[in-house]
């Protein structure tokens, strides 16, 4: 999930600021999906991209973006965007941290913006 979040740009301060704003996150998810092309995606085409990435242990950037498109095809990316903003952070050394690895993370408040 951490690569999926990074490659889709869902670790931003903007999204972290929306973690507790349902309406704001839903609007931002709609905005995100309006810029994507997902009309051609089917469950079978999604699985053809998702399963190899799962077996490999992490997706390529293109695979992660495709799964982000799939999320939009399912209705809205806001839930995944909120999950990413709450759960992961980019660490000073360029790696991705999760939860308590991230400075200031709180189980109720999530990641600091």
Q: How confident is the model over 17-34, as pLDDT tens digits?
A: 999 999 999 999 999 999
> For tokens 């905005």, what's the residue?
31
Q: Does 39 have pLDDT greater than 90?
A: no
Q: How far apart are CA 85 and CA 15, in angstroms?
A: 6
Q: In this structure, are residues 43 and 70 in contact, taking their beta carbons and an 8 Å threshold?
A: no
Band of pLDDT at residue 113, cut at 50, 70 and 90: confident
CB 3 within 8 A of CB 94: no
Query: Which residue in the block uniquely carries the two structure tokens 């390529």?
Result: 60
**pLDDT tens digits for range 60-106:** 999 999 999 999 999 999 999 999 999 999 999 999 999 999 999 99
Q: What pLDDT does 58 receive?
A: 92
pTM of the predicted model as reported, rounded to 2 decimal places: 0.92
Phi and psi dihedrals of 55, rounded to 5?
A: -65, -35
């Amino acid at each position: 999930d951490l690569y999926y979040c990074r490659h889709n740009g869902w670790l931003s301060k903007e999204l972290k600021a929306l973690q507790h704003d349902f309406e704001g996150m839903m609007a931002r998810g709609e905005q995100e999906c309006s810029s994507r092309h997902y009309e051609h995606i089917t469950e079978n085409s999604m699985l053809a991209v998702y399963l190899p990435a799962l077996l490999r242990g992490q997706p390529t950037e293109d695979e992660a973006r495709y799964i982000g498109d799939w999320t939009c095809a399912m209705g809205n990316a806001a839930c995944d965007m909120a999950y990413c903003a709450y759960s992961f952070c980019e660490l000073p050394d360029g790696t991705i941290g999760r939860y308590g690895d991230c400075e200031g993370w709180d189980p109720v408040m999530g990641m600091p913006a």
